Each structure stands twice: as C-alpha cells, then as structure tokens.
Chains A and B, each alone.
Chain A
Amino acid sequence: MQTQTILHSTPDVRAVLAAAMPSGAMEVTVGIDLGSTTTKAILLDTSGQIVGRGITNSRSNYEVAAAVAREEALTAVRFSLLGRVLESAGQAAQQLAEPLTEAFRLELYMGELAALRSEILGLLEKPGHAAHRAALQPAAEAVLDKMAQTASSLFGPGAGRKSDFFRDLAGAAYVAEAEALANVKGSGVPFERLVGLYDRAILDVETRLESRDFGVLLEKAAMHVLPVGERASWLREVVRAVGSSRIAEVAFVGTGYGRQTLPFPKETVRSEILCHGRGAHRIFPGTRTVLDIGGQDTKGIQVDDGGVVTSFQMNDRCAAGCGRYLGYIADELNLGLHELGPLALQAKKQVRVNSTCTVFAGAELRDRLALGQRREDILAGLHRAIMLRAMSILARSGGISDQFTFTGGVCNNPMAVKVLRELVAQTYGENITVNTHSSSIYMGALGASMYALDDHHAGRGGILPTFAQG
C-alpha cells in the first residue's frame, strides 16, 4: 500500500518539533481511569489540550491494563506530533497521517499475533495436550498462518474494524479460520479444542507487557506506506525525529472503580466522582449535572461552573439499575449487550416492570416470556425500569436544573438514552439540554488528567508509577 505523494515543501523538521516542544520535550499530564471493564488513559499537554488517548480491556490485571492504555495514549501523542509536522508540509503530507497510523497498528497486530503463536505452540507442548497434539498442532498453525496472511485487510484507511482490542480482532479471525478448517469434511479438526487453545493463550498474551519502541515500529510501518522517490528522505527524517523525540510525563492522576486496589501511589489517586464530573464538564462546559451509568455503579453528580463536584449520590449496596443488570438480561436472552437497545426500540408497547433486582432479573424475564409477552416490549419495560432508578439517584443528588450530561457505558445504548430524555423532559421540563457523547467513556480519564494538570501547575505533580514490568 505504498503511496505516491508529491510534497510541496519540506520544512525543517527540527524547527517544527522545537516549536511544538519548546522545552525540548513534549510535556504531558497523564490521567488513567481503571474501570471494571475497560481502562482508559488521557494525556493533556500543558495548555490543557488533549494530545493522546488509549483504551484497553481491564481483564484481571489492572497494572497491565493501566500500562497498555498509557502506552497507547503515548503512541497517540507521537502521532499527534507527527500530524503537526506533516501539517506544516501541506495537505498532501497530511494525508499520509492515516495510512501511517494504520500501518503502525498493523505492525502492532503482527507483533501480538507472533506472541499468540508462540503462546499457543507453548501450550501444545504441555502434557495435557499430548493426546491431541498431532491433530491440533498443524491445525493451529494453519489458522495462525491464515490470520497473518489476512491481517492487512483489517487495517488501512476505511477498514472498518469492529474493535481496536487485539482480543476481539484476533478472536474473531481465529474462530472464523478455525471454523472454516473444521468444516472441511474429514479434516478431523477438533473445533472446540482449537478455540480452547485460543481462550487460554489470549489471557497470557493480554497480560504480557512488552516495551514498545515507537521509533522502530514506526519506521517499519513507514516502509509500507511512504512514497518512493526524492522526498522520501524528508519523510524518513520526520519519522525518525518523531520516533525519538522525548515525551515527558510531568504529572499523573489515577482514578477508577475500586480505587483501593489500584496500582497507583496514594497521593496520585482521585475519586472517579470528581474526575467524571470534571471531565464531563470539560466536554460540555454548560453542564451542571452528570449522570454516569457504568458497569458497577450509577452516579448522580452535581458540578459548579468550574466542574468541581458539589454533591453526588451513588446507587446503594443494591446494584439494581446498573449496567450489570443489562448484562444479565443480555446473557439471559443470549444477545450481545449492544443489541439490547436497538431491539427495545422496536417495542410496540412497554411492559410495566417494577423490579430492577439483578437477582430476579432472569426469573422475571422468563415469567414474562412464558406469559407470551414480546421480547421487545419486555426489554422496553426493563430499560424504563433501569432509567427510573437512575432518575431517583439523580433526584437524590439534587435533581436537574440546568444542562445535563449522560456518560458511562450505558449511554451508548440508544433505548436508554431515549427513555432518559423522555423522563428528564417529563420530570424537569422540556428545556433541559441533555448531552451525550460517543466518547463519554473517557470522561473519567479526562478529569483525572485535568487534576494532574492542576497538580502540575501547583508544582506538586504526582509521579507516574512504572506499573508492572514485562
């Protein structure tokens, strides 16, 4: 996928970089939000602009998750630096940014794939697999070979990946190839075992920490993308300069679910309530009330005109009405979480559901289905029941009187948003602005990074932990 490009000018790379980094290094503050399902990182430059973000699955190892999200955000920072330099060289150069990013991601993917291969082959050496090794090993290798051959289709401008997580991408490809292999008549390929290998191996691949040399990877990626010809040397210089430029993490704040278990030093930890409130306020500066519905809890937050929390309420011990409830329902119906909302939108009428008890969710659902009620209608009722709970928590925290922002995983559910808008209008009037944002999942990390910036300005920036090393 090499690109032919004519560059109109080739500004002095060092000068452009120096302008972007007067101190000789890119100074950033780091905010990490360790959630129960995903871990997010946001980096701000010292003027408060977002320069990088990263996200990964939290899984079981918080330290690794924090390290991966941070690494990804740092990568993003370099890409934003790269963007600035290319921008200075005009539109044509600027258009190189996306292919370069995609090629870089492909390099990362290939690296992880190699790790997956060695993990799987390692597993096959174990005595437990002795009986099936003969059938499994060639099959697994064939699957992995195929994955490597087709990997490039996942990347490139407009590739439309379903996810940016290696687990999801590789998992989908692996299962597809394994299925194809197993479906060949007489192949004797044990599909379940093959998939079992992946499930086991991915855990180790995910929690494997590899120090990533951005410069080396970027240069590799550039080989595939950069134009040939006279101007290429300038571009290679850009790549090298960006790859080796220094990024200084000057302050750090960590937040997230179960902060007691976070791998952060005590003085760098901020409550996710404060962080969510501040982050949401940053995106929508008119916000005075924030509702965050995450996997484990629901928070109603009031903030002042500077984004500082003035009061908050969370769901009590009972988890009724949290994202987890929708998870149970999805499991019960054998649906993906993201399918619930669109399905509920198709309801013809809303079944009245009064209980949002997670313990009884399954039983209630089965009873109602047994009574012949439509799945869509029940789902509509369930969404309404959950949002009623959220409305109560909001009311507890002081209600809504001005601009209102809905964040958290559940805000990506269109039915939840629809019901919430209706209830807000019904309870607090039609004039309330209700904000939602596709990237609302980053609000906590953004707020954390802002608090880090405060600390930096106050001369007491918290030190970034190194996290687990490889």
Chain B
Amino acid sequence: MADRPSKDAPAPNKDDSQKRQKDMIADHFDKLSRSKADGKKVVYTFVPGNLTELLLALDLLPVLPEINALQSGMRKKSGGYIAEAEKAGHSEDVCTYVKCDIGMIKSGNIGPTGQKLPEPDLLLLSYTGCFTFLKWFELLQHEYNCPVVMLHVPYQPDGVATPAMREYIVEQLENEVIPALEKLAGKKLDYDELSRRLALSRIAEDDLVAVWESAKHTPSPIDGYFGGVYYIGPIFSSFRGSQDAIDYYRLLRAEVEERIRLGQGPTTPDGRMDEQKYRLVVEGPPNWTSFNDFWHMFSKEQAVVCASTYTRVGGLYDQGFRHDPSQPLESLADYCLGCYTNLGLPSRIDLIEKYVREYNADGFLINSVKSCNSFSAGQLLILREIEKRTGVPGGFIESDLVDPRYFGKANIENRVQSFLQMLDARKTRMINAPMRSGPAVHV
C-alpha cells in the first residue's frame, strides 16, 4: 500500500456508471458550448433548491457555477483563479467558490471540459440555505449585466416547512420566476411537460435512495461521501427530470446490488475495499483540491463512509421526499425547503444522529471548510451533541473547498490518523477490558 499517494492517482472510481456519467457531462458541456449557435438560452443557478425540471420543461440550459468551481478545484486550477479574484479586490476571508468562479470568468471562462462556457442569459438566484448565493449572483450580475430573478426560500429553523413558507415560494414561482423564465424561453410553460419531468425525477430518486441505503450492509458496497459525491452528480445538477438520469441511476443501483451480492466494497484510491475496519458518518463538504489524497487518507486505513450530509445538500430523498407530478409548484417548493443546509441546526443534529445509529457507525467526523459558514458555523456544537447523544466518538478536521492554501495535508492526515487510532484504541479497550495502566511512576 503506497503511503504517499499519487498526485496523479488514477481516478478512483472506474465503475461503468462513472464512465456513463462522464459521457453525460461531456455531452452537456457540448450543448452549452454550442448554445449560442443553437439559439438556446442559458440559465446560471445553484445546486441546493435548483429548479432543473422547470428549466428543462422550458428548454433552457442550466449552468451551475458551484460545480464549475469544484471542478476547477479538482483540476488544480482554483488556486490561480482565487488569486486572480483576490487581486481584483476580493477579501481573503470570503467563500472560495465565489472567488474561484470570478477568477475563472476573468481568465476566459473555460469550463471543466476545456470548452468555453456561454455567458448567462439569466441568473436564477435560488437563495436556499446559503447567504453567499445572494452576493455571488449580485457579483455575476455585475460581470455580465444580465437579468436576475430571485427565489427566496425561507429557512426551516425548527425543521418544519409551514404552509406559509410553501405559499411564499409558490407565489414567487408563479409571479416572478416562471414569468421571467417564460420571457427568456419565448414560450409559455407547459405544466404537463413540467409534471412529466417531475415524474421522471421520482424514478431516479428512488434508485438513488436504494444506493444510499445499501451502505447499511456490511461491508458497505459504497462510500457514501467520497464515492457519494460522484453519485449525486447527475441528480443535483442538470439531469434531474431527464431520461439520462434514470438510466444512470438504474445502472448505478445495479452495480451496487451486484456488489452486495458478492460481498464487495466500493472502488477507492486503494482498490476495492472489501475489508472495512471503520464505518464513519461525515458532516461537511469535502476538499476538492486534494480530493484523492483526502480520500486516500481514509481508504488506506480501510475506513468507509456510510453516510454523509454533504450528499444531501441537493435534497433529502432518503428522508422520504419525492418530487410530485400532481402538484408541481408545491413540490418544487417543498424540494427547495428541504435541502440539508436549509435546515436549522437542531434538525441537522437529529439527522446526523439518525445516520450514526441507522448506519451503525463507529465514528463521526466533521470536515469543517473555511468557505462555507452555512455548514461550518455551529459544527463544534454538532460534534459535542452527537457525541453526547450517541456515545460515538467524533473527530474534527479543517480544510477548504477549493483554496489549496487551506489544505494542510500533514496536519489533516495527522488528525485523521489520530481519530482512527482513537476509534481503534477504544474498540480494543472494549474487547480486552481494562488496560494495563499501572501505578503512578516517575519519569
């Protein structure tokens, strides 16, 4: 087992579903690069609370700057982009997704596939669970001078989506968002088409939930965090409500079920992990600039993540939510309301506790990212509460989304190892009962 992985570690996930996803993404960016020629309109929007079915129903092409930013991180471009933005006066204190995006624009707006991204015809500001979104699109409006339409999704401080909240969103959709999109598309919204798309979403959502819950098996056939970020790709981005998404999730689910049948673990940077020494629940987004190194720190110790909250930012499907073709706008509203980062801290703690118990985790780990206060503010209280409620030990590491300056590899690895060794020592202790402590001695 190599101790020093590989700056150029092979892409860890080489399953067929993964290849298929890659093709889907390539195809989407092709479409984007041809959009002006094809006369298609482009809408920039955000992952949490995205209204993809609505955009697809109006034949509009979505671009997700968050995904571009994380891709820039994985392609080691983000450091330069961030520097570019900071040179232009952006504070070093603020979200690096924003700065990475601004820097990318200033550097020619070349997307993850190497093709130039089209400028937005409209910015659909779905303000869901993240304050920075608001400023991000104000900044983009400054860059592009294009129209913005705002959808303010109220926050769920008590984990309850009230009728007033739902109504507020539906009214915004009816009176502001849909008219703006219709104007851009040059046609009226066909509600039947919207419902048809929502029905397609449901199918893929069912399969995704089956994939998440497969991690309750031992060994887990998936890694619900490092692997999970690949699994959420299509459904959190431009493909929900499309046949492509259905095909992808069907394939993925089949792969996972086959692994369960064979008693296999997921593909990781250290090969297939059939032996799993630790089962973890992880809170917080991953680091993207050193994603493989980060994963490797876990996979080389045979630690598998069975559930994570980051993979729920685009919807809590495993908690029962499904898009509902019979009430399309209400259903979109409920979707937006229920994204993980739109939930109050007490609800987040309840959910994590549930994951720790249901997935039979040995440990709970927080990756606290500097950029994202929506996730990070309060995480130390989450840590304490989860330890208190479940007795499962917690660990805490700090990094950033796409700022390579904030990925201290030695430091992070030190903490990860200390954490895993602590789990080990406690397990050993439970099996072997009292440790030889001995009387006080003098050094």
A and B touch in the complex (CB under 8 A): yes
Task: Give chain A's interface residues, CB within 8 Å of chain B.
Answer: 42, 48-50, 53, 258-261, 266, 269-274, 281-285, 304-314, 316-317, 396, 398, 437, 439, 442-443, 446, 450, 453-454, 457
Please tell me if B6 contacts chain A, counting CB pairs below 8 Å. Answer: no
Q: How far is the CA of A300 from the CA of B276 in the complex (A)?
A: 29
B417 within 8 A of A: yes
The answer on a CB contact under 8 Å between B422 and A309 is: yes
B443 touches A439 (CB 8 A): yes
Any chain A CB within 8 A of the CB of B418?
A: yes
Q: Which residues of B contact A285 (CB under 8 A)?
A: 437, 439-440
Q: For residue A317, which residues in chain B have a CB less than 8 angstroms away from its CB?
A: 398, 406, 408, 411
Select which of A48, A273, A274 is within 8 A of B438 by beta carbon: A48
Known: A258-B414, A260-B413, A306-B434. A274 touches B425 (CB 8 A): yes
How distant is the Cα of A396 from the Cα of B394 in the complex, in angstroms? 12
Most buried by B among A266, A282, A443, A457: A282
15 A-B pairs whose Cβ atoms sit less than 8 Å apart in the complex: A50-B443, A269-B417, A270-B421, A271-B421, A271-B422, A274-B422, A282-B437, A283-B440, A305-B437, A306-B434, A308-B425, A311-B394, A313-B396, A314-B415, A396-B396
The residue on A at minimum CB distance from B407 is: A317
Residues of A within 8 A of B406 (CB): 317
Q: A266-B3, A317-B398 are in contact. Are A273 and B443 (CB under 8 A)?
A: no
Q: Could you list 5 further interchain pairs (A-B, Cβ under 8 angstroms) beyond the known A50-B441, A259-B414, A261-B410?
A: A42-B443, A260-B413, A274-B418, A283-B442, A316-B398
The distance in angstroms between the C-alpha atoms of A285 and B443, with both chains bound, is: 14
Q: In the complex, what's the smallest C-beta–C-beta distance from B383 to chain A, in angstroms? A: 8
Determine whether B436 belongs to the interface, using a CB cutoff of 8 Å to chain A.
yes
CB distance from A208 to the nearest CB of B (A): 28
Contacts of A271 in B (CB 8 A): 414, 417-418, 421-422
A439 and B440 CA atoms in complex are apart in Å by 14
Cα A48 to Cα B436 in complex, Å, equals 9
Residues of B within 8 A of A281 (CB): 437
Nearest chain B residue, comparing its CB with the CB of A306 = B435
CB closest chain-B residue, reference A396? B380
The residues of A that contact B409 with a CB separation of less than 8 Å are 260
Chain A contacts for B394, CB-based, 8 A: 311
- Taking CB atoms, residues of chain A closer than 8 Å to B429 are 304, 306, 308
Instruction: Report the bound CA distance from A304 to B78 in whole Å.
Output: 43
CA distance A443 to B443 in the complex (A): 9
Residues on A with C-beta less than 8 A from B411 are 317
CB distance from B13 to the nearest CB of A (A): 25
Given contacts A308-B429, A317-B408, contact A283 B421 (CB under 8 A): no
Cβ contacts under 8 Å, A269 to chain B: 417
Give complex CA distance A304, B422 in Å: 12
Contact B443 A454 (CB under 8 A): no
Q: Which residues of A contact B22 (CB under 8 A)?
A: none
Query: How distant is B1 from chain A, measured CB to nearest CB, in Å?
Result: 8
- The reply to whether A306 and B384 contact each other, CB–CB distance below 8 Å, is no
Please pick, from B380, B421, B435, the residue contacting A454 in the complex, using a CB distance under 8 A. B435
Q: Which residue of A258, A307, A312, A316 contacts B435 across the interface (Cβ within 8 Å)?
A: A307
Tell me whether B437 and A307 are in contact (CB under 8 A).
yes
What chain A residues lie within 8 Å of B387 (beta carbons)? 311
Of A307, A453, A457, most buried by chain B (CB within 10 Å of CB) is A307
A272 to B413, alpha carbons, bound, how many Å?
13
In the complex, how many angstroms separate the beta carbon of A35 from the nearest chain B beta carbon?
13
How far apart are the CA atoms of A446 and B441 in the complex, in Å? 11
Say how far B325's CB is from chain A's closest CB, in angstroms. 47
A274 and B429 alpha carbons, distance in the complex (Å)? 13
Q: Which residues of B contact A316 (CB under 8 A)?
A: 398
**Nearest CB in chain A: distance from B224 CB, A:** 23
Q: Which B residues are in CB contact (< 8 Å) with A309?
A: 418, 422, 425-426
Which residues from chain B contact A450 at a C-beta distance below 8 Å?
436
Using CB atoms, name the residue of chain A closest to B425: A308
Report if B393 contacts A (CB, 8 A). yes
**Known: A259-B417, A260-B410. Contact between A306 and B443, CB under 8 A?**
no
Q: How far is the CA of A261 from the CA of B414 in the complex (A)?
A: 11
Q: How far does the alpha carbon of A45 sit from the alpha carbon of B421 in the complex, in Å?
A: 24
| Cα–Cα, bound, A108→B421 (Å) | 39
**Closest residue of B by beta carbon distance from A266:** B3
User: Cβ of A283 and Cβ of B425 under 8 Å apart?
Assistant: no
Residue contact B417 to A311, C-beta cutoff 8 Å: no
CB distance from A439 to the nearest CB of B (A): 4
Bound Cα distance from A285 to B439, whole angstroms: 7
Which residues from B are CB-within-8-Å of A457? Answer: 436
Q: Contact mask B381-407 → A, CB, 8 Å, 1/0?
A: 000100100000110101000000010
Q: Please name all residues of chain A whose beta carbon is closer than 8 Å to the beta carbon of B3 when the two chains form the complex.
A: 260, 266
Q: Which residues of A contact B425 (CB under 8 A)?
A: 274, 308-309
With beta carbons under 8 angstroms apart, the residue of B384, B417, B436, B440 that contacts A284 is B440
A304 vs B436: C-alpha distance in the bound complex, in angstroms?
Answer: 13
Question: CB within 8 A of B426: which of A282, A305, A310, A396?
Answer: A310
A-B pairs, top 3 by smallest CB distance, nearest first, are A306-B435, A271-B418, A439-B443
| Complex Cα spacing A259 to B415, Å | 11
Chain A nearest CB: distance from B219 CB in Å?
Answer: 22
| Cβ of A235 to closest chain B Cβ, rounded Å | 28
Measured CA separation A283–B440 after assembly (Å): 5
Let me know if A442 and B438 touch, CB within 8 A: no
Is B380 a contact partner of A273 (Cβ separation < 8 A)? no
- CB-CB under 8 A from A446, the residues of chain B are 443
Q: Which residue of B lies closest to A53 (CB)?
A: B443
How far, in angstroms, from A27 to B49 measured CA to CA in the complex?
A: 65
Q: Please determine whether B421 and A274 come into contact, CB atoms closer than 8 angstroms.
A: yes
Listed residue (B3, B387, B426, B443) with the most chain A CB atoms within 10 angstroms of its CB: B443
- A53 CA / B441 CA spacing, docked (Å): 13
Q: Which residues of B contact A313 (CB under 8 A)?
A: 396
Contact with A along B419-436 (1 / 0, CB 8 A): 001100110010000111
Q: Which residues of A contact B393 (CB under 8 A)?
A: 310-311
> CB-CB < 8 A to B437: which residues of A?
281-282, 285, 305-307
Interchain CB contact under 8 A, B426 and A49: no
Which residue from chain B places its CB closest to the CB of A453 in the assembled complex? B436
Complex contacts, A304 vs chain B, CB 8 Å: 429
A442–B443 CA distance with the chains assembled, in angstroms: 8
CB-based contact A282/B422 at 8 Å: no
Pairwise interchain contact B413-A454, C-beta atoms closer than 8 A: no
